Amino acid sequence: MGEPVIELVSLTKRFGDNAVLNGVSLAFGKGEITTIIGKSGVGKSVLLKHIAGLIRPDAGQVLFKGQDISRLGKTARKELRQKVAYVFQNAALLDSLTIFDNVALPLVENLRLSKKEIREKVRARLGQLDISEIGDRFPSQISGGMKKRVALARALVTDPETVLFDEPTTGLDPVRKSAVHSMISDYQRRFGFTGIIVSHEIPDVFFISQHIAMLHDGTIHFYGPPGEIENSEDPVVRDFLHGIEPRQDAITGAESGAQIRRRFGREASRPEEDPSVFSIVLFTLENMDDVSRRAGHMASQTIVRNFALELKRHMGAHDTFSRYGMNKILALLPGTGKARAEKLCERLAREMDGNPLAQDKTCPGVVFSVTAGIAEARQGDSFGNALREAESQTGTLYTFKVC
């Protein structure tokens, strides 16, 4: 973990007889995205509200860069708070103000900027989030997805160092959910803020997070990188993930990452008398950040979905695939050696050449490419090794230039 920006030290909070947080200690590294997961009602939002200063703890401390907020003077606390932004679950836009005024509000109230400077800053943020055209509308006149984007624009307009997201994708359709995740990840890389997300969207949030913290029974039950939690043998973690992880990815219709790992395990543990090679192919959709910036995050996620549908059309009855990152798809081809896998990729590349995966209306003139890394596996091979091999097989990469 990078240098910690925010630290929670033995945070305790009770509501009546219910101890929601019971000595939570957790640190959030600078410039990283940490996702807090856990069952409903376990206290994830309460934890986030402690960081935002909306709730005071019964005991324990919230430290910003090593300073206890409760011990700071009013001015210092105000300065510190200006560095933290909060994106609410329901967007919490001021419904009597226009979208433009909502985004401008933190600038107008907190910074002594000229009207021109405020107008320029707000227009820039609205433009970056593809909502320039709705500046003069009111929150009740726009869709849920747009409200989320406005909330994000309002949070980012002051260039905060830390952004807190409380279930940012609740109530959105699958493509929009994925677009919001892609947007958070994209903006985090662009602006470099520290992101703390409370979410139920597993495994999607694993694709964009550097760390996962699981809250259980008032304490942090698990903390680590996404890969670690997915492979965790802890029964509480397993039960939670098993209960919440969907069998199919909502966008691509593909199997979940956990299922494809299990399938790999079955293939790799076939009996000696039934030996069989099999392959995995890791497809990576390149230039997606560029696509998102030029044509919007919805367009990039539509491309991922359309590519997955095309891939499915070319696969055999026993083949399977899974989404393995925001822009990555992992295919498992049983009984298929590397040579046949390469042929499949060639055929796919040939037939997809010139195929308009991106609809013209959504992203005119966008050019992107898909790369494929192939790894052959046999009995006894580990999933991790095969995946690393696929990632490093630059010699067998196919680049499909698809417009």
Partner 1 sequence: MDSPRANLTAPVRSLGEGTLEFVRAWGRASIFFARGFWAILATRPQPLKFLFHLHFIGAKSLFVILLTGLFTGMVLGLQGYYALAQVGSEDRIGTIVSLSLIRELGPVLAAIMVTARAGSAMAAEIGIMRISEQIDALKTMNIDPVRFLFTPRLLASILAFPLLTAIFDMVGILGGCLTGSVLMGDNSSKYFYAVEYSTGMDDVLGGFYKALVFGAVVSTICCFQGFYVHLRKDGFGAKGVSSATTSAVVLTCVMILVADYILTSFLM
d(CA 17, CA 391): 51
Q: Is 106 in the site for partner 1 (CB under 8 A)?
A: yes
Q: How far is the CB of 108 from partner 1 (least distance, A)?
A: 9
Q: Is 172 in the site for partner 1 (CB under 8 A)?
A: no
Tokens of 242: 């098993």
Q: Which residues contact 42 (CB under 8 A, 6 or more apart)?
A: 20, 215, 216, 217
Please report, as a single letter, which amino acid is at residue 338: K
Q: Is 52 in the site for partner 1 (CB under 8 A)?
A: yes
Q: Is 274 in the site for partner 1 (CB under 8 A)?
A: no
Q: Which region, left, alpha or beta, applies to residue 16 given φ > 0 means left and ψ of -120 to 50 means alpha? A: left
Residue in the block written with tokens 């790999």? 264
Number of residues that bind partner 1 (CB under 8 A): 22
| Nearer CB in complex with partner 1: 148/323 | 148
Phi, psi for 396 (deg, rounded to 5): -110, 20
d(CA 163, CA 186): 14
Q: Is 5 in the site for partner 1 (CB under 8 A)?
A: no
Are 148 and 92 in contact by the 8 Å Cβ rule? The answer is: no
| Nearer CB in complex with partner 1: 166/204 | 166
Site string for partner 1, 122-161 (x = CB under 8 A): --------------------------------x-------
Residue 350 DSSP class: H
Q: Is 85 in the site for partner 1 (CB under 8 A)?
A: yes
| Nearer CB in complex with partner 1: 91/386 | 91
Of 3, 16, 73, 95, which lies in the binding site for partner 1, with binding defined by CB under 8 A?
A: 95
Applying the rule CB under 8 A, the residues between 64 and 83 that interact with partner 1 are 78, 81-82
Q: How far is the CB of 285 from partner 1 (least distance, A)?
A: 35
d(CA 93, CA 244): 30
Interacting residue ranges for partner 1, rule: CB under 8 A: 49, 52-54, 78, 81-82, 84-86, 88, 90, 92-96, 105-106, 109-110, 154
